Amino acid sequence: MPASDRKPTNLQQLRESGWVSKSVKQEVQDNFLRMLAAGDELFPGMVGYESTVIPETNIAIIAGHDMLFLGEKGQGKSRLMRTLVRFLDEEIPYLVHPEAPVHDDPYRPITSVGRELVASVPASEVPIAWWPRSERYVERLAPGTKFADIIGEIDPAKLAGGVSMSAEAALHFGLIPRMHRGIFAMNELPELDELVQVGLFNILEERDVQIRGYPVRFDIDVLILFSANPATYNRSGKVIPQLKDRIGSVIHTHYPKDRDQGIEILEQEAAINLGEPFPVIVPRFMKEIIEELSIAARKSKYIDQASGVSARFSIANYRTMIASARQRGARLGERPVVPRISDLGHLYSSSLGKLELDLMGSHQMSERQILDALLAEAIHAVFNEYVAEHGLEEIAKIFAEGVKIEVGDLLPSSYYAERLKRVPPAWDKAFEVNAATDVAVRASCVEFVLAGLYSTDRVSRSQTNGQIRYEL
């Protein structure tokens, strides 16, 4: 490697290299503006926020604000905070000293050992190392977090060893001081103990750390991020007013604005390989039902809307649906296998626990009953759209002529083909997959139409031993 390409290893080389010291907020702002001007993708993987959340975040970065991301669970708040790491420099230099508690800026050390090192040793002998951006971010969940965890505490062992209580060396440093020149994120801010909130207020206000009132102070350089749920953040007494007042920007997140955005998110986040060894074809209407189930839950009077319905609800249900179909493929030797409505009978395992019931609105209904009602509502909504757009009445007439079909997640697709030999032309109009030539696709389409007809009171349904029978 040419000498000019080598990273400085001491303070003299660093000065000669022309490296410029910046605050972490200035560093983030400079890199952000450079990427913005170059037309780079700023927040990869964030879907549906292009005209809402991202513009507000951009402004907050340029303004040099500490930020609070406010929204219900599963809206990508933590992901947004972690994404800000990409606007840090690839790596920054720091002073190497065995007793240094932080990564001191070689030009502006804040610790006594750092300042003493720079003042007492020739620059050519002051060692420098490099701190990568991946290590300059730390995240903490508020419940159970103590003052000592994120700010610090007096170390009794050091006092016993003769260190003065007012000396810097007597301190044990928490996460925020250790993230000097980095990014600190606190999830679920309203659940943070009030004493710790007071400590954070002091850091946001003065950018220094005071521990137990002792005259030991550090000028901390840190970008602080928070996340919170509106139901708790806006509740009186949960977050002290002084702390709220000093958060530079509050950025409101939200769930997908439409079903297509939700499907894009669940496909991206589920990241399932649908290929070999047991390939899966997922019809569009099955994805629509999975996402519509989440939409129905977010509107339901039976669900606690203050808590929200996470995007993880859709993602987990999508994975469960595909897993059920893949199990059928492996057991019955179907290749490819196609998810059906009967596969949704396994959603209890991936749904229950992710929905918080509204005790006032549930009227003693169980979680399973509520999920069944929401799934029926989702099927109804999607089916009606297909009827309106593609005219599935022709298919409905076939079943009205007395066809009786049993369905189940472990029935072979050939069973459906035998029961429905005459394939109406509407199949090809209604579905982006060819139901006329592939028996597995046809089975999925049959179950969708049957469930849709039942949801619109056009056929009856009975259930025995896990099998469902539809008939006129």
Do 235 and 302 share a domain, yes or no? no
Do 248 and 269 share a domain, yes or no? no
Do 155 and 286 share a domain, yes or no? no
Q: What pLDDT is attached to residue 1? A: 34
Do 21 and 99 share a domain, yes or no? yes
Q: What pLDDT is attached to residue 3? A: 43
Q: In a structure prediction context, what are the per-residue pLDDT tens digits for the chain, which is 472 residues long? A: 334 468 999 999 999 999 999 999 999 999 999 999 999 999 998 999 999 999 999 999 999 999 999 999 999 999 999 999 999 999 999 999 988 889 999 999 988 889 999 999 999 999 999 999 999 999 999 998 988 888 877 766 666 665 655 556 667 788 888 899 999 999 999 999 988 898 888 788 766 666 666 655 678 899 999 999 998 998 888 999 989 999 999 999 999 999 999 999 999 999 999 998 899 999 999 999 999 999 999 999 888 888 889 999 999 999 999 999 999 999 999 999 999 999 999 999 999 888 888 766 556 778 888 999 999 999 999 988 887 766 666 666 666 666 677 888 888 888 877 776 665 666 665 565 555 567 888 888 888 888 888 887 777 777 766 677 776 6
Q: What pLDDT is attached to residue 2? A: 37
Do 72 and 169 share a domain, yes or no? yes
Q: What pLDDT is attached to residue 169? A: 64
Cα–Cα distance measured from residue 265 to residue 256, given in angstroms and rounded to the nearest whole number: 9
Cα–Cα distance measured from residue 239 to residue 377, given in angstroms and rounded to the nearest whole number: 38
Do 145 and 221 share a domain, yes or no? yes
User: Would you state the structure tokens that stand for residue 266, as one six-digit string?
Assistant: 């669940």
Print the domain residue range for 294: 259-471
Query: What distances in angstroms separate CA 99 from CA 92, 95, 103, 127, 155, one per listed residue?
Result: 19, 11, 11, 14, 14
DSSP H/E element including 440: helix 439-455
Do 215 and 293 share a domain, yes or no? no
Q: Which of 207, 228, 252 is the last residue of a domain?
A: 252
Q: How many residues does the chain have?
A: 472
Task: Estimate to the nearest angstrom the gap between the alpha carbon of 138 and the chain centroid.
Answer: 16
Q: What pLDDT is attached to residue 217? A: 67
359-368 CB contacts, 8 Å cutoff, 24+ apart? 361/301, 361/302, 362/302, 363/302, 365/302
Do 331 and 412 share a domain, yes or no? yes
Which single residue is written with the structure tokens 């810097």? 168
User: Would you state the structure tokens that stand for residue 20, as one six-digit string?
Assistant: 């410029």
Cα–Cα distance measured from residue 209 to residue 202, given in angstroms and rounded to the nearest whole number: 7
> Which residues, at least 6 apart from 326, have a Cβ–Cβ distance to it below 8 Å?
278, 280, 337
Amino acid at 224: I
Do 408 and 323 share a domain, yes or no? yes
Angle at 33 between CA 32 and CA 38, to 5 degrees: 100
Q: Which of 230, 252, 274 is the last residue of a domain?
A: 252
Is the bond into 339 cis (omega within 30 degrees of 0)? Answer: no
Query: What distances in angstroms separate CA 420 from CA 397, 398, 447, one per listed residue?
Result: 12, 9, 12
Q: What pLDDT is attached to residue 360? A: 65
Which of 464, 449, 204 has its CA nearest to residue 341?
A: 449
- Cβ atoms of 137 and 175 within 8 Å: the answer is no
In CATH, what number is assigned to the domain containing residue 145?
Answer: 3.40.50.300
DSSP 8-class letter at 109? -
Cα–Cα distance measured from residue 225 to residue 69, given in angstroms and rounded to the nearest whole number: 8
Say what the pTM is.
0.86
Q: Give me the number of domains the chain comprises.
A: 2
Cα–Cα distance measured from residue 99 to residue 465, given in angstroms and rounded to the nearest whole number: 69
- Cβ atoms of 386 and 430 within 8 Å: the answer is yes
Q: Which of 228, 252, 276 is the last residue of a domain?
A: 252
- Cβ atoms of 175 and 209 within 8 Å: the answer is no
Cα–Cα distance measured from residue 377 to residue 323, given in angstroms and rounded to the nearest whole number: 23
